[in-house]
């Protein structure tokens, strides 16, 4: 066994959000076998289990005795899909910093924290879901994992697949993936296909291909990936001593995180870890904001858009997890916002003043928070957690294209160098 937990793990239910059917959880499908709808994976949780898991997770963090104890996902293994099985494909994901943003927080008059998922092994939150879905693929004897990606999922899938002895096939939108992510994906040996279209076209292709029973789809349509992403919220609250948080603000593209965070909040209430759930704020880039448009119309349906934004990670026009994400927003009295590319890049630069870097998509969360402050929805004294989803160096081009020109100095010209540096 991968772990010798004294605690009986949670039982789980997979239910189709479209037709309500209960679906076999081994493995949970990414589409309902009865109607083609989107399934959700939910745990049946009690405060009794909550007490035990909270203590165990804290103890494992302090005194890791098992390799899984070092993972910020598997420390919570009694309430994570597949935690009772072995082997587990872990690269030590999670355990990311919760950073107090003093300057920005003071400017806004709030207590502001950033959960920096760029700290993960491949530099994004995707690793938390990938460890769960890859472990399942290995156990079921899958040889190939497939994903469409704007770059982070593919980098993560490639790293976890290669370290698990699996082949990763990835389909990317041609010319729309940030350099760091492309390089990572190739470095970890994924088989790469580029499609002359958007992420949504790549996703369509991959969903067709993954009907082949030999392959596992590792996109967030697969609900067990989201099961791992719930731990972002578990960890953030653990780091805050389970004190109440007013707002949880994050960027939104394919709407996996929005779904996972809603599940996490609900789970934490059922586990007795929270009295008052935070409100969720999902932030989209204005050029790729079908969820925001839907929110403005009452969340009844979602209309696909042709996406365009500098935040390539969230350049998505037809998000797969809409039916799940809608519930998360509704249940948490949440909001969906959209921010311009200019506001995103300005927010990215603003974070630098607190010594924090992240990729453009991640900075959308801060731009969204500023909008909530301006509207008076976030009020002085509020405690807010931003989720920064990816590492600064994922997208070096976005950084260099904003920088002022670099001055040149001939070798050996000390005086000229001193003058340029203002010394």
Alpha helices in 140-271 (DSSP H): 152-163, 179-187, 199-209, 223-229, 231-239, 256-270
Give the gyration radius of the chain's Cα atoms: 21
Q: Residues 6 or more apart from 141 whose CB is under 8 A from it?
A: none
Pick the binder of ligand F0G from 5, 150, 184, 198 (CB under 6 A). 150
> Does residue 356 contact residue 388 with C-beta atoms inside 8 Å?
yes
Residues 287-316 that bind ligand F0G (CB under 6 A): 313-314
Residues 324-353 that bind ligand F0G (CB under 6 A): none
Q: Does 371 bind ligand F0G (CB under 6 A)?
A: no
Residues 215-234 that bind ligand F0G (CB under 6 A): 220
Decide whether 68 or 101 has the Cβ nearer to ligand F0G: 101
Pick the binder of ligand F0G from 339, 361, 384, 398 (CB under 6 A). 361
**168: preceding bond cis by omega (within 30 degrees):** no
Decide whether 69 or 267 has the Cβ nearer to ligand F0G: 267
> Does residue 43 contact residue 53 with C-beta atoms inside 8 Å?
no
Q: What is the dihedral of CA 151, 152, 154, 156, to 10 degrees?
A: 160
Region binding ligand F0G by CB under 6 A among candidate stretches 149-157, 239-247, 345-353, 373-381: 149-157
Q: Does 135 bind ligand F0G (CB under 6 A)?
A: no
Pick the binder of ligand F0G from 3, 96, 152, 210 (CB under 6 A). 152
Measure the N-to-C terminal CA separation of the chain; round to a whole number of Å: 63
> Does residue 191 contact residue 169 with C-beta atoms inside 8 Å?
yes
Phi and psi dihedrals of 135, rounded to 5?
-60, -40
Q: Does 389 bind ligand F0G (CB under 6 A)?
A: yes
Per-residue contact track with ligand F0G, 236 to 275, x per CB under 6 A? Answer: ---------------xxxxxxxx-----------------
Decide whether 152 or 343 has the Cβ nearer to ligand F0G: 152
> Does residue 161 contact residue 134 with C-beta atoms inside 8 Å?
yes
Decide whether 2 or 363 has the Cβ nearer to ligand F0G: 363
**258: preceding bond cis by omega (within 30 degrees):** no
Pick the binder of ligand F0G from 71, 120, 153, 198 (CB under 6 A). 153
Q: Does 124 bind ligand F0G (CB under 6 A)?
A: yes
Q: Return the bridge partners of 387, or none.
A: 115
Given the rule CB under 6 A, which residues bind ligand F0G?
124, 126, 149-153, 220, 251-258, 313-314, 359, 361-362, 389-390
């Amino acid at each position: 066994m991968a772990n010798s937990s004294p605690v009986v793990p949670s039982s789980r239910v997979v239910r189709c959000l479209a037709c309500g059917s209960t679906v076999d959880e081994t493995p949970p499908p990414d589409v309902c076998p009865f109607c083609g709808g989107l399934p959700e994976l939910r745990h049946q949780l009690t405060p009794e289990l909550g007490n035990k898991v909270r203590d165990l997770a804290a103890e494992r963090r302090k005194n890791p005795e098992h390799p899984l104890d070092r993972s910020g996902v598997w420390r919570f293994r009694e309430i994570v899909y597949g935690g009772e099985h072995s082997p587990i494909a872990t690269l030590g994901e999670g355990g990311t910093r919760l950073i107090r943003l003093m300057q920005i927080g003071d400017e806004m008059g709030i207590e502001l924290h950033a959960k920096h998922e760029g700290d993960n092994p491949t530099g994004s939150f995707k690793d938390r879901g990938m460890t769960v879905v890859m472990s399942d693929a290995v156990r079921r004897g899958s040889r190939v994992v497939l994903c469409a990606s704007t770059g982070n999922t593919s980098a993560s899938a490639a790293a976890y697949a290669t370290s698990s002895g699996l082949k990763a096939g990835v389909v990317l939108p041609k010319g729309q993936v940030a350099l760091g992510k492309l390089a990572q994906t190739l470095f970890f040996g994924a088989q790469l296909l580029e499609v002359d279209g958007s992420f949504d076209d790549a996703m369509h292709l991959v969903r067709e291909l993954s009907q082949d029973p030999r392959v596992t789809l590792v996109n967030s349509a697969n609900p067990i990936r989201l099961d791992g992403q719930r731990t972002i919220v578990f960890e953030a609250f653990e780091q805050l001593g389970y004190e109440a948080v007013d707002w949880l603000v994050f960027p939104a593209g394919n709407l996996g995180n929005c779904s996972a965070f809603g599940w996490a909040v609900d789970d934490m209430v059922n586990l007795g870890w929270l009295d008052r759930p935070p409100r969720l704020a999902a932030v989209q880039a204005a050029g790729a904001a079908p969820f925001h448009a839907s929110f403005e119309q009452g969340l009844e349906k979602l209309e696909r858009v042709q996406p365009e934004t500098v935040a390539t990670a969230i350049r998505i026009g037809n998000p797969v997890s809409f039916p799940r994400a809608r519930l998360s927003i509704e249940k948490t009295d949440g909001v969906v916002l959209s921010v311009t590319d200019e506001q995103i890049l300005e927010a990215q630069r603003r974070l630098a003043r607190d010594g924090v870097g992240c990729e453009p998509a991640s900075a959308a969360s801060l731009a969204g928070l500023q909008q909530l402050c301006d509207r008076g929805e976030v009020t002085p004294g509020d405690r807010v957690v931003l989720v920064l989803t990816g590492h600064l160096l994922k997208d070096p081009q976005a950084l260099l294209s904003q920088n002022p020109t670099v001055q040149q100095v001939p070798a050996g010209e000390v005086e000229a160098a001193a003058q340029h540096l203002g010394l």
